[in-house]
Amino acid sequence: MAYETIIVETRSKVGLVTLNRPKALNALNSQVLADLLASCRAFEADADIGAIVITGSEKAFAAGADIKEMQSKSYVDAYMEDFFSGWEDFTRIRKPIIAAVSGYALGGGCELAMMCDFIIASDNAKFGQPEITLGVMPGMGGSQRLTRFVGKAKAMDMCLTGRMMDAAEAERTGLVSRVVATSDLLEEALKAAAKIAGFSLPAVMMAKEAVNRAYETTLSEGLRFERRLFHSMFALEDQKEGMAAFTEKRQANFKNR
Ligand code: HXC
């Protein structure tokens, strides 16, 4: 399928989506949302894909929601179309998604990165929620996800002053999982995704579901949810194979990957 705003490729068992609106620093308009959702849904349906990487350009992962597209909206437009609610569909993708972030990840760009399962950043990455400078506030989850990821003090600082965080601060505060040299970013992200895609897909998907549950529920309910999923794993052929491979000192050959 041909997309207008993204480039879609596969690298073995990894689906790669590159945001491609270079003239607008990958600003996220409604077409980007439609293209991103369609591509991720296609990867979700493709049994040969075990993980997805989303990236942008070296200069910008995404410089935010498209300001020019939303500039003239009225309150009733925003309310009636439930503006930005479509991004919730993106968080329903069940296969793992890595954000490979180079350059600017601002506003909706930072929020999109946070909707992915984890972020690998290049050393030139800059994260921020500059909406306050436009007379608004985050609208794609920034006030909620950023606060859960980096805590109240940093989230307030970012949302109220609009300042950017560099890659080192983002790693120190837990926003990103790793920082790598800009030239290595895509290779490192694809390597991590290929590693994940080599494991048992149902085990990977359940692990994703369980970690995400931690953001939705109490500790005791989350622990119960984890235990039930864990119990169910003894029904997987891949559990038998993984544990047999360990005891037989050989590489596991998972069926469901
Ligand atoms: C639309 C954008 C854009 C955006 C950049 N561009 N960001 N277009 N929406 N979010 C466009 C510019 O207008 C310009 O187009 C081209 O991309 C290059 O940008 P420059 O500003 O010339 O580049 P540079 O000087 O290098 O500065 C980079 C930048 C700056 C610091 C990232 O572009 C910037 O501040 N962008 C806006 C960042 C932002 O405020 N993001 C939050 C958006 S609001 P032309 O045609 O002029 O060449 C959001 C959620 C809102 O995400 C929620 C509200 C409900």
Q: What is the pLDDT of residue 51?
A: 98
The hierarchical CATH code for the domain 200-248 is: 1.10.12.10
pLDDT for position 2: 86
189 is annotated as an active-site residue: no
So where are the chain's domains?
Answer: 6-197, 200-248
d(CA 106, CA 9): 25
Q: Which of 60, 99, 131, 189 is catalytic?
A: 131
Residue 243's pLDDT is: 98
pLDDT of residue 1: 78
Cβ of 105 closer than 6 Å to ligand 1, yes or no, is no
Contact by Cβ (8 Å): 166, 126: yes
Nearest CA to ligand 1 atom 54: 139
Q: Is the CB of 128 under 6 A from ligand 1?
A: no
**Backbone torsions φ then ψ of 51, nearest 5 degrees:** -165, 160
- Written out in words, the top-level CATH class of the domain with range 6-197 is alpha beta
Cβ count near 177 (within 10 Å): 15
Is 53 exposed, middle or buried, given 0-12, 13-18 or 19+ CB atoms closer than 10 A? buried
Q: Is 185 in the pocket of ligand 1 (CB under 6 A)?
A: no
Q: What is the ipTM of this complex?
A: 0.97
Distances (CA, A) of 55 to 27, 73, 76, 167, 204: 13, 28, 33, 16, 21
pLDDT at position 84: 94
Residues in the chain predicted with pLDDT less than 50, given as ranges, are: none
